[in-house]
C-alpha cells in the first residue's frame, strides 16, 4: 500500500485516545499493510496507527524475528522490570531512560478479526508497551521521571522539527 508520514510530537492525534476497530475486512487489511510498509523503513521497531494520523487502535511491530499487526490490543500480562533508553518516531532523535516491564503480552485481533497474542521480553516487551501507550494518547516522554521529563520537554521545544 504506502509508507505513511509519521506525525510528530505536538500533533493532537498523538494525545488522543484511539477508537476501537469495530469492523474487519478490506479497510483493516489496508491499514495493516500501511502500518507494515511504514514499519519496514530502517531503524523502526513499531508504528501505531495514530502516528500515521489514523485514530484507531492498531499497531505494527517488528523485532526479534516477530512481525505483525495487532488491532484493539490489550496488555494482558507484564512482569519484571527493565530500564533502558527509549526513543520514538514521533520524537525523532531523542532517547531517554524509560522504565518498562521486562516481559509483556498483548492480545487483540489480526486484520481479519482473528484473535492474536504477541508476547516477548526485552526490546519486544518495550515495543508492545510503547505502541499500546500510543493508542491511549501517551507518548513515552510522559512516562519519564520528572527531572528527566523536564529536560526532554526542553529538548523537544528546541528541536528543529517541533512546531509550537
pLDDT of res. 1: 64
pLDDT higher than threshold 70 for residue 130: yes
Average pLDDT over residues 84-110: 97
Identify whether 4 is part of a domain.
Answer: no
CATH of the domain at 117: 3.90.45.10
Q: How many domains does the chain have?
A: 1
Whether residue 164 is contained in a domain is answered as no
What domain range is 101 assigned to? 12-158
Structural domain includes residue 5: no
Do 32 and 57 contact (CB within 8 A), yes or no?
no
Find the catalytic residue in 114, 131, 145, 163: 131
- Residue partners of 156: CB distance under 8 A and separation at least 6: 9, 10, 91, 94, 141, 162
Within a domain: residue 80? yes
Digit-coded pLDDT (tens) for 28-83: 999 999 999 999 998 899 999 999 999 999 999 999 899 999 999 999 999 999 99
Per the domain annotation, does 19 fall within a domain? yes
Domain annotation covers residue 163 = no
CA distances (Å), 87 to each of 19, 46, 53, 156, in order? 24, 11, 19, 12
Does residue 2 belong to any structural domain of this protein? Answer: no
DSSP 98-156: EEE-SEEEEEEE-TTS-EEEEEEEHHHHHHHHHHHHHHTT--GGGGS-HHHHHHHHHHH
Say whether 107 is catalytic. Answer: no
Residue pair 116/139 in contact by the 8 Å Cβ criterion: no
Residues 17-41: pLDDT tens digits?
Answer: 999 999 999 999 999 999 999 999 9
Position 91 in a domain: yes
Amino acid at each position: 500500500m504506502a509508507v505513511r508520514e509519521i506525525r510528530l510530537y505536538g500533533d493532537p492525534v498523538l494525545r488522543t485516545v484511539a477508537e476501537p476497530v469495530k469492523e474487519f475486512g478490506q479497510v483493516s487489511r489496508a491499514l495493516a499493510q500501511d502500518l507494515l510498509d511504514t514499519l519496514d523503513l530502517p531503524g523502526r521497531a513499531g508504528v501505531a496507527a495514530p502516528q500515521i494520523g489514523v485514530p484507531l487502535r492498531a499497531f505494527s511491530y517488528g523485532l526479534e524475528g516477530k512481525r505483525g499487526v495487532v488491532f484493539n490490543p490489550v496488555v494482558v500480562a507484564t512482569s519484571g522490570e527493565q530500564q533502558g533508553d527509549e526513543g520514538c518516531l514521533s520524537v525523532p532523535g531523542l532517547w531517554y531512560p524509560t522504565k518498562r516491564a521486562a516481559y509483556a503480552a498483548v492480545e487483540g485481533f489480526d486484520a481479519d478479526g482473528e484473535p492474536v497474542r504477541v508476547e516477548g521480553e526485552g526490546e519486544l516487551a518495550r515495543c508492545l508497551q510503547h505502541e499500546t501507550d500510543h493508542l491511549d494518547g501517551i507518548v513515552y516522554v510522559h512516562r519519564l521521571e520528572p527531572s528527566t521529563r523536564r529536560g526532554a520537554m526542553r529538548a523537544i521545544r528546541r528541536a528543529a522539527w517541533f512546531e509550537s
